[in-house]
Structure 1
């Protein structure tokens, strides 16, 4: 069975991370600096950075935050915890961008900020959106959790740009995020609040590193095939089994889990990963994804008009996702509808035929072997 994907980290890096934890637990302190950039702030997660940003803004309850209408549930929960009103902006399935008409029509006197989220590894063109936002004095928060490619630093007029290095992200540090600010006042407030957070226990990070090693072993092709076979004969759902491994902040009370600073070992791992990142990994991933996409009808493609796509994940649209998944698994390809925890905020029915709908997406492994398996589907 071709696994749906492996963590973007080597065993060597994971063992170094364990070494960082052991050094910290034994009191061996090594200074860490992630970047020679005073506008960058390391955080425990993008969720943490988003929460800190909203706390720093001090918006009145009932204030409006425009949001790309597809994101992970926790981001919508964080907005609700600040008693803000989220107004969703639909995503175009071809460009993975938002409509300027819908954006302008959604702005009212109560609108204070906008969260623009790049999906699936694609980077949408947000020049027009940022221009509109700035004309209305909106705070622009750019969510690049799924869009790290080693070169894109965010829009120069975004007030804060958030990059994730969580467990399943590109160039993962297992846990961690970087916030890049173009708004000095906001940076100062966020940093002050972040400095007041307790440091996450090093043992928590150490446990996550061991879990990451287990995931890397399990997703080796032989072991993954055996796991799929076990799940089938035991009547277990492979998606449920894997979700227990990969959720960054499991459970309902997300706020109590994200309000920490990363431990020193986590910061050192982020530094190590940042220094050793190679753009060649992105280039190779794009080439493999392109070879798969050429086998797929245009009607099934997502983001085909997005020129900045790096395919962190490779979704396709299907009228019958379950049937497609079953057919692919019979061919030895572990496709899934649950490779991402993305949900839609707002009306369930799409407003136009070009709106992205997450319920009919199927995620394909980005692997050369998939190309041959797609024939006949």
Structure 2
């Protein structure tokens, strides 16, 4: 089954969302209830259309001088540095370390300048890295620290590091506990939060039929992600010389490339607010526990504790399982032929360095992204399927060793 079609939402939730999308009015009350639920009485929450929207609102509220630098974990989705550029800011990558895509503190020290004002730390694939040392460096240089937790939500009690200035969580179509849209932001400074809230209040509300259409689309995608349909799609893709990503990838995109800011600058509809609140209150966290168990089984079967010790992280919830391979294309091809929805890269990219600082080209992040294969470990997989997948990976490794 294709990894992007393993939608973390059930048919009852889709029905609830469909009914919510048809209900008129009550948007302000729904927003207030959702933000109160998320903040737990701390009054530090704002619900937005997406993490990108929250990031855009943050940059508006910060009102940084033109030409200020926004430092990014080197691997992220391209829209994030594009938003910074739209604010006349300079996106600057910070290289990563290890095999788990974590920010390299030495690289951060070398990258920061007097023009650096913001640091965006991406928590990728379900990881929850320790922020203490990162925050020490950031505070030393007066950086405003934003956690991009779009891929990292795993339990209702966790809202990011309380010491970070802002933490952004996504509940878009392929995320954990998806509401097919919506994001929740925790912002520590009340003045900045108020500014974000006031600016968002001036934006148009996304039309309710957008959620209705999304529910219908993803209900169809959920149906065709079952094995018989998916096998047909895979066979069709091979015949056309394409991948499943090529055929279906665009269907899960939340925003197109055209006029990005106009798409981001909308308030979430009443239906989205109600569906997101419903998902947070009713989500079965046992699904995440099963996902983690599958990941631990992969680690044990492949003996990754020896070669990629960073995988043994008790804070990792494995939204995706990243596996380093020196022959990623061959591995993906073999796994897909056997019905496993492995993939590579997706929408992630390495942030390019500024033209006047070409030395910040982040070689380790580039190597990591090029060598990483994403393995499925979603809850629906059985232990037998996990073992068969690991067996295929080990067989390919043995073939390579024998050939050499």
Match of 2:69 in 1: 64
1:196 paired to 2:207: no
1:220 paired to 2:226: yes
| Partner of residue 110 from structure 1, selected from 93, 110, 115 | 115
Match of 1:295 in 2: 301
Match of 2:401 in 1: none
Whether the 8 Å CA contact 1:166–1:172 is kept in 2: the answer is yes
1:343 paired to 2:359: no
Name the one with the larger helix percent. 2
Alpha-carbon RMSD across the aligned residues, in angstroms, is 2.2
Taking the aligned partners of 1:29 and 1:134, their CA distance within structure 2 comes to: 38
Superimposed CA distance per residue, residues 94-133 of structure 1 (whole angstroms, 9 cap, x where no aligned partner): 3432222222222222111111110111011111111221
1:139 paired to 2:144: yes
Taking the aligned partners of 1:220 and 1:243, their CA distance within structure 2 comes to: 17
| Partner of residue 387 from structure 2, selected from 362, 368, 371 | 371
Q: Counterparts of 1:138-287 in structure 2 under 5 Å?
A: 138-150=143-155, 151-287=157-293
Match of 1:320 in 2: 327
Taking the aligned partners of 2:161 and 2:297, their CA distance within structure 1 comes to: 30
Match of 1:21 in 2: 21
Whether the 8 Å CA contact 1:43–1:176 is kept in 2: the answer is yes
Whether the 8 Å CA contact 2:2–2:244 is kept in 1: the answer is no
Deviation at 1:355, TM superposition (A): 7.4
1:359 paired to 2:370: yes
Gaps of 5+ in 1: none
Deviates most, 342-351 or 51-60: 342-351
Match of 1:306 in 2: 313
Residues 349/55 of structure 1: CA separation in 2 closer, same or farther (3 Å cut): closer
Match of 1:47 in 2: 52
Gaps of 5+ in 2: 354-359, 397-404
Superimposed CA distance per residue, residues 273-322 of structure 1 (whole angstroms, 9 cap, x where no aligned partner): 11112322211110011112222253875842533111101121222221
Taking the aligned partners of 1:84 and 1:208, their CA distance within structure 2 comes to: 33
TM-score, structure 1 normalization: 0.92
Whether the 8 Å CA contact 2:18–2:215 is kept in 1: the answer is yes
Find the residue that maps to 1:357 and give its secondary structure: helix
Whether the 8 Å CA contact 1:90–1:99 is kept in 2: the answer is yes
Find the residue that maps to 2:169 and give its secondary structure: strand
Taking the aligned partners of 1:174 and 1:93, their CA distance within structure 2 comes to: 33
Taking the aligned partners of 1:14 and 1:118, their CA distance within structure 2 comes to: 28
Deviates most, 56-65 or 32-41: 32-41
Match of 2:337 in 1: 330
Superimposed CA distance per residue, residues 167-207 of structure 1 (whole angstroms, 9 cap, x where no aligned partner): 00010000100001111111111111111111011111211
Whether the 8 Å CA contact 1:93–1:355 is kept in 2: the answer is no
Deviates most, 32-41 or 75-84: 32-41
Deviates most, 59-68 or 306-315: 306-315
Find the residue that maps to 2:34 and give its secondary structure: coil
Taking the aligned partners of 1:189 and 1:134, their CA distance within structure 2 comes to: 23
Deviates most, 27-36 or 192-201: 27-36
Whether the 8 Å CA contact 2:17–2:271 is kept in 1: the answer is yes
Superimposed CA distance per residue, residues 33-69 of structure 1 (whole angstroms, 9 cap, x where no aligned partner): 1142321110000000000000111111110111101
